[in-house]
Chain A
């Protein structure tokens, strides 16, 4: 067993080693100035910061901008500590160096998210696990944009790197002018002393690089000028003028275009393909058979003069397909098996218990009153607006890849493997991502594109999937089912909760595809398969939450908010059922059970108050509430719903959130609105079905997104907080569906226990 496997194995077992978290100070991640490439006149100060001749700052950016505003937010952290304007920070692509690895993102696979354990009180198991992951991530140098982790991960590092650079720059001025540092002031990158001397950072940089920073301290919170403000995003001018370059827009010299056609049956292959007929189609120059790359279904690629020539030829190709060797996939069969599995595991007390306190099963038997419900969720597609694509060039033993990816390290490693070169012969550029949502944590298209680029005589090739290929060859949010059983004691208090869920684990499947070095011979328990259920915030003395892991064969992946996406629907709908079973108001019932969770209670109260909970409503409307913690943040939502031609409709969504320290409340508001819309589309329409291994939903008309007319009013109210930042990008997705379902119950008396929410 390799060390890496051992480390992950130890994590899976709950992290039994006791090691201090403080062993790895953020200072070690500031990095060496030599890692940043310099252009004329620039001076590197550490692994994150360079200063240009005009005094402006270059910031290494290892995270992908996919809409979540991370480029703006990280630049704000640097600008704040350096006392420069946000407009004086230019981003440069970070290289593959290990210091840019994202440690926090890996916490999504941990049994206990360190920030989730109770907002402030982090568990020892969580810290130990994080330390181990930290080691693993560092060893691999994993760069990931995902798990709502970018700000949390940068929080201890990037401001310190910027503060260190500032200390060196001020130290240089102090030495040059022979004046004490404490008497110097900085504004927009210009250092001044009241007696007259002044110099901008560009003039001080050379000397600063040789000046020790001394004892560096981050700015105190009350001195912040930029962090905490709704500073305008820095990427929007390019995004309203069409100039922003997404993966699909890169146009290197000599580019040729390619389209892919996979076997329509997941896991199938090409049996016969009339290549000659394809080559006779206009504009077509080559056909490349594609095997499986990082989990992709085999098929073929057509290289042509334009994307259209390639797509048109691929679509018209005469091809016979091989059936999948493992037998056919059928989502209806899988979903009913999940339901049966959850029921059986509950009856046998099987599955891996992620939470266990007291004697839930015994307490249920003795309960004066029991409530039981089975909840279900379907497969879902990511459907980012920018379809899967990649551009690659293989020339003179070097590989250049332009990939809109959330996982550059994994993309680069696969490119090297496919091209048969050492990884340091691969240069990777990450343009803007036209949405990610977890789909771009997969690198299938990178492997395919490099394979095609081996056949284009050194010319760069851009491979673009049609929307149909994108829908039908996704890595889907796994379907899930859970049986929830609660018991009330004779005095009416909630005494027991027993939850058993069933569904595919994502992390082991993703590791096999994307990080083979981390894949083990057996599947460790995957926290993403239970998250959102096992950290039940409400007071209940006897609790058991177990998961029965399945392996359906359907390609499953991380979908914005992952396990939380459906588990919040299960848990918060069920809690609503419990409130109604007791004849209690859903907000009051929750608050009573949150006496030991003041942060949760504060968020819930704020949402209820701002939504006018309990107040009058227009006829035909009702409110529903939900509360959910994910990625170290707590969100409550009150949805005001109505029926429109018999179909549920969300009209107003009032959100309250505690997401720790907020770097940019404007971006948080965007993410919350976006999360609401993303979740609302899923709650109303989201369902991927598979028949004889073929995904039935092939384009947006089959799986609608929401247009302007469907957009509710969304309000966000933040609970002020001084703890470290929690996640933001995914946190608004989980509570929407249960809040809407609870509103529908209030409106119609019908309890919908399956997504999407359909009354007919």
Chain B
């Protein structure tokens, strides 16, 4: 099976996987992309959040068959290929958000999906689209970090032609 993964075509050996196998485990155990995390397996915690065609999805309940021909983006591609961090990643460091860090990939991917569509989200909009769980309680800082990144994205899109914006991770 062929996947469009982080902007590159990737072939997954059909002998190794099953169409019903959740994307999460294909990423982690077959393709060795371990940045996406297993937390609950029932789409409750969001640690496994990735993008499928630009939408944040919970990869622990997304079967491999559902992403055929679609663009899958994981935390490993949130920064630019040259290593330049996404404004959200910079804001996460500026606000010193992560503690243990385990759920942060999912949080960042959920937040990035929101900002790709809405560069000036309200508190309510943030709360509604970023529903990830974090046992360390980093959620106390997440809203402000998202707003910092949103400000940066707005400033960026104000000074650069839209094509240079980071609408995709």
- A interface, CB within 8 angstroms of B: 65-69, 230, 232-233, 235-246, 248-249, 251, 257, 282-283, 305-309, 311, 383-387, 432-437, 464, 466-468, 666, 670-671, 673-678, 699-701, 705-714
The residues of A that contact B36 with a CB separation of less than 8 Å are 242
Assess the A435–B100 pair: CB atoms within 8 A.
yes
Assess the B96–A241 pair: CB atoms within 8 A.
no
The residues of B that contact A437 with a CB separation of less than 8 Å are 135
Assess the B100–A236 pair: CB atoms within 8 A.
no
Assess the B132–A707 pair: CB atoms within 8 A.
yes
Knowing that A236-B101, A241-B75 touch, tell me 14 more A-B residue pairs with CB under 8 angstroms.
A66-B100, A67-B98, A236-B92, A244-B101, A309-B18, A383-B135, A434-B37, A699-B42, A705-B135, A707-B131, A707-B133, A707-B139, A708-B142, A711-B142
* Alpha-carbon distance between A8 and B25 when the two chains are bound, in angstroms: 47
* Interchain nearest-CB distance for B51 vs A (Å): 13
Assess the A385–B37 pair: CB atoms within 8 A.
yes
Assess the B140–A676 pair: CB atoms within 8 A.
yes
Contact with A along B1-31 (1 / 0, CB 8 A): 0000000000000001110011011001110
Identify A435's interface contact among B44, B79, B102, B141, CB under 8 A.
B102
The residues of A that contact B102 with a CB separation of less than 8 Å are 246, 384-386, 432, 434-435
Give the most central of A65, A239, A437, A666: most B CB within 10 Å. A239
The residues of B that contact A387 with a CB separation of less than 8 Å are 38-39
Identify B38's interface contact among A238, A464, A676, CB under 8 A.
A464
Contact with A along B74-108 (1 / 0, CB 8 A): 11101100000100010011001111111111001
| A707-B133, A708-B130 as given contacts; A308 in contact with B21, CB under 8 Å | yes
Is B143 interfacial (CB-CB < 8 Å)?
yes
Is B54 interfacial (CB-CB < 8 Å)?
no
| A242-B75, A434-B37, A708-B127 as given contacts; A701 in contact with B42, CB under 8 Å | yes
The residues of A that contact B34 with a CB separation of less than 8 Å are 242, 245, 248-249, 251
* Alpha-carbon distance between A233 and B95 when the two chains are bound, in angstroms: 11
* A65, closest chain B residue (CB): B100
Is B137 interfacial (CB-CB < 8 Å)?
yes
* Alpha-carbon distance between A235 and B97 when the two chains are bound, in angstroms: 11
Q: List 22 A-B contacts (CB under 8 A).
A: A69-B99, A239-B98, A240-B89, A241-B85, A245-B34, A257-B29, A283-B18, A306-B17, A308-B22, A308-B29, A385-B103, A385-B133, A432-B100, A432-B102, A434-B100, A435-B136, A673-B138, A674-B138, A700-B133, A701-B44, A709-B127, A711-B143
* Alpha-carbon distance between A251 and B31 when the two chains are bound, in angstroms: 11
The residues of B that contact A235 with a CB separation of less than 8 Å are 98, 101
* Alpha-carbon distance between A263 and B38 when the two chains are bound, in angstroms: 23
| A248-B38, A249-B34, A383-B135 as given contacts; A240 in contact with B85, CB under 8 Å | yes
* Interchain nearest-CB distance for B99 vs A (Å): 3
* A383, closest chain B residue (CB): B135
Interface residues of B in 112-150 (CB under 8 A from A): 126-127, 130-143
The residues of A that contact B126 with a CB separation of less than 8 Å are 708
Assess the B93–A241 pair: CB atoms within 8 A.
no
The residues of A that contact B141 with a CB separation of less than 8 Å are 673
* Interchain nearest-CB distance for A555 vs B (Å): 20
| Interface size class, chain B | 35 or more
* Alpha-carbon distance between A307 and B24 when the two chains are bound, in angstroms: 10
Assess the A384–B135 pair: CB atoms within 8 A.
yes
Assess the A467–B137 pair: CB atoms within 8 A.
no
The residues of A that contact B39 with a CB separation of less than 8 Å are 385-387, 467, 700
- B interface, CB within 8 angstroms of A: 16-18, 21-22, 24-25, 28-30, 32-42, 44-45, 47, 74-76, 78-79, 85, 89, 92-93, 96-105, 108, 126-127, 130-143
The residues of B that contact A468 with a CB separation of less than 8 Å are 41
Assess the B29–A670 pair: CB atoms within 8 A.
no
* B142, closest chain A residue (CB): A708
Assess the A242–B133 pair: CB atoms within 8 A.
no
Assess the A434–B101 pair: CB atoms within 8 A.
yes
| A467-B41, A706-B139 as given contacts; A239 in contact with B30, CB under 8 Å | no
The residues of A that contact B35 with a CB separation of less than 8 Å are 241-243
Assess the B133–A306 pair: CB atoms within 8 A.
no
* Alpha-carbon distance between A151 and B116 when the two chains are bound, in angstroms: 41
| A240-B108, A385-B45 as given contacts; A677 in contact with B29, CB under 8 Å | no
* Alpha-carbon distance between A598 and B30 when the two chains are bound, in angstroms: 60
| A386-B37, A467-B41, A678-B135 as given contacts; A433 in contact with B143, CB under 8 Å | no
Assess the A236–B98 pair: CB atoms within 8 A.
yes
The residues of B that contact A464 with a CB separation of less than 8 Å are 38
* Alpha-carbon distance between A283 and B133 when the two chains are bound, in angstroms: 31
Identify B99's interface contact among A68, A305, A311, A713, CB under 8 A.
A68
* A673, closest chain B residue (CB): B140
* Alpha-carbon distance between A740 and B135 when the two chains are bound, in angstroms: 20
Going nearest first, the 3 A-B pairs with the smallest beta carbon separation are: A242-B35, A677-B137, A434-B102
Assess the A700–B137 pair: CB atoms within 8 A.
no
* A248, closest chain B residue (CB): B38
* A671, closest chain B residue (CB): B99
* A256, closest chain B residue (CB): B29
* A709, closest chain B residue (CB): B127
Assess the B99–A678 pair: CB atoms within 8 A.
no
* Alpha-carbon distance between A705 and B40 when the two chains are bound, in angstroms: 12
The residues of A that contact B18 with a CB separation of less than 8 Å are 282-283, 309
Assess the B85–A307 pair: CB atoms within 8 A.
no
* A238, closest chain B residue (CB): B101
Assess the A385–B99 pair: CB atoms within 8 A.
no
* Interchain nearest-CB distance for B76 vs A (Å): 5
The residues of A that contact B92 with a CB separation of less than 8 Å are 236, 240
